[in-house]
Amino acid sequence: MGGYFRTTLLMAFMTAFVAGVGWLLGGEGGLVFALVIALAMNIFSYWNSDKIVLSMYKAKPVGPDDSPRLYGMVKQLSENAGLPMPAVYIIDTAQPNAFATGRNPQNAAVAVTTGLMQRLNQQEIAGVVAHELAHIKNRDTLIMTITATLAGALTMLANFAFFLGGNRDARLNFVAVLALSILAPLAATIIQMAISRAREYEADRIGADICGRPQWLASALQKISGAAKAIDNDRAENNPATAHMFIINPLHVRSIDSLFSTHPSTEERIRRLMSYT
């Protein structure tokens, strides 16, 4: 299924769901209000979801003067991939990780963490950047980023329903409890339905072609996986609906984290990469 088709289905589902919540909370008036909110949310998410995610992680843009080695690496690998030069961002967190975002290759960004820059060598970083460029080339980033934004909005709806339910009548209180009990698992289910684990294998394969050395990415995955299990990423823990965007699942602290596991086995990814050598 193409990225644009999956995105359209996701937006349609979210519109219907938000409308249903609006009806439960406010009848016909709530339904109309919710439809307006859903339409605005879909339009805003399409055009601004990448900015929202980058803002969540306080990502800072860098240019050739700020980080010449990283910027030059992204530029060279983008040329290898036949892609426009994406924006480059750095996220200040000790956990080594990275993600790509943007609605198309002409409006894309690659974000890496300070932990990645400190713990990996240049070849391994190149493998990670190549993997993220593969997501851009495959146009995975549109559905990945919008899914993160809309699934995260479900948590906001749950909090909204809880606030109303806790302060008004018993009917709304029931709705609030129901929302809280199903929205987080529903958000996780939406992500798992919209985001195929196969996309990571494909991005690994294409990324290996872009950098020319599958073993660079394999080594990077091994290091990132081990460190991600030991080093917290607080912003990711507070925004679990964005976890699928990272090259390795950044979550490990909370019990709900397992609901948002969309990554295939790191061992299997490494095995496949090494078979390409």
Q: How confident is the model at residue 92, as a pLDDT?
A: 97
Q: Are 98 and 110 in contact (CB under 8 A)?
A: yes
Q: How far apart are CA 221 and CA 226, in angstroms?
A: 8
What is the distance of C-alpha 227 from the center of its chain? 19
Of 124, 132, 202, 268, the catalytic one is: 132
Angle at 54 between CA 99 and CA 235, to 5 degrees: 80
DSSP string covering 48-77, please? HHHHHHHHHTT-EEE-TTTSHHHHHHHHHH
pLDDT at position 35 is 77
Is beta strand 87-91 parallel, antiparallel or unpaired with respect to 108-113? parallel
Q: What is the pLDDT of residue 149?
A: 74
What is the structure's pLDDT at 21? 66
Q: For residue 98, what are the β-bridge partners?
A: 112
Nearest to 149 by CA among 199, 108, 190: 190
Cα distances (Å, whole numbers) of residue 179 to 165, 190, 261 = 10, 15, 21
- The confidence score (pLDDT) of residue 176 equals 53
| 54: nearest Cα among 84, 91, 85, 86 | 91
- Pair 191, 262: CB distance under 8 Å: yes
How many angstroms separate the first and last alpha carbons of the chain?
30
Question: In a 3-state reduction of DSSP, which class is residue 264?
Answer: coil
Going residue by residue through the chain, which has 277 residues, state the pLDDT in tens, using 9 for 90 and above: 455 676 677 677 767 776 776 676 667 777 787 778 777 777 777 788 889 899 999 999 999 999 999 999 999 999 999 999 999 999 999 999 999 999 899 999 999 999 999 999 999 999 999 999 999 999 888 887 777 777 666 666 655 655 555 454 555 556 555 655 565 556 656 665 556 678 899 999 999 999 999 999 999 999 999 999 999 999 999 888 788 899 999 998 665 556 566 788 999 999 999 999 8
Q: What is the pTM of this model?
A: 0.81
Beta-sheet pairing, 60-62 with 87-91: antiparallel
The H-or-E segment that residue 208 falls in is helix 198-211
Contact 108, 136 (CB under 8 A): yes
pLDDT for position 240 = 82
Task: Confirm whether 200 is a catalytic residue.
Answer: no
Contact 252, 229 (CB under 8 A): yes
